Amino acid sequence: MVDVDGVVIVHPEPGGWSTHLERDLGLSPSLLQSAFFAPHWPDIILGRAGLRERLAPVLAEMAPELDAGRLIRYWFEKDAHLDHGLLAQLAPIRAGGVKLFLATVQEHECASYIWDELSLKQHFDGIHYAAELGFAKPEARFFRSVSERSGFSPAEIFFIDDKQANVEAARLEGWSAALWDGTRSLASLMEEAAKSEKSDVRPGG
């Protein structure tokens, strides 16, 4: 199981996709945050509302010259920075018969974009995401739902994420998990996790 934002997709700018939003589209990132993301994102990310359904009326009020479709396309394209080094490390693992899945907090349109247009479907066997599941990391039900849908028991899953809270939550659900920051190889993290699991085994347990 592999996280997306901060792991498979790593933006070169600290401010992410909206770094040059005001320059390029005339829209203030802070205004977008307060008018759209703060009130609407919780419902969108959990699949309770559609992205365009909530974004269009907000833009009609604060930037009527800007179409929701144009902003969404800009957003997704500016965020499309794949970590090809990680994908290269994952390829031989998958070639060896290990199933690879994305386990990510996304809404429906972005999940479809990264899967189809960024062609992550060529590198992974499936995607499990928040809007489809109705739960987001680090909630325990996210990990339980992913495990159930994947058909693998928690003990069979190894997971990488760039947030420690998500790693710890996954471990509480019985997953083997490691923090990914791009400084260590995937092989070393997997080896360390395997050693940790062996050391946790106690005689007579």
Report the distance separating Cα 189 and Cα 195, nearest Å.
10
Q: What is the pLDDT of residue 201?
A: 45
2 assigned to some structural domain: no
Domain of 22? 16-78
- pTM of the prediction? 0.93
Low-confidence residues in the chain, pLDDT < 70:
198-205
Q: Please write the tens of the pLDDT for every residue from 51-104.
A: 999 999 999 999 999 999 999 999 999 999 999 999 999 999 999 999 999 999
Q: How many domains does the chain have?
A: 2
Q: Which residues contact 161 (CB under 8 A, 6 or more apart)?
A: 3, 6, 7, 103, 137, 167, 170, 177, 179, 180
For residue 49, being part of any structural domain is answered with yes
Q: Give residue 13's pLDDT.
A: 87
Is residue 126 domain-shared with residue 34, that is, in the same domain?
no
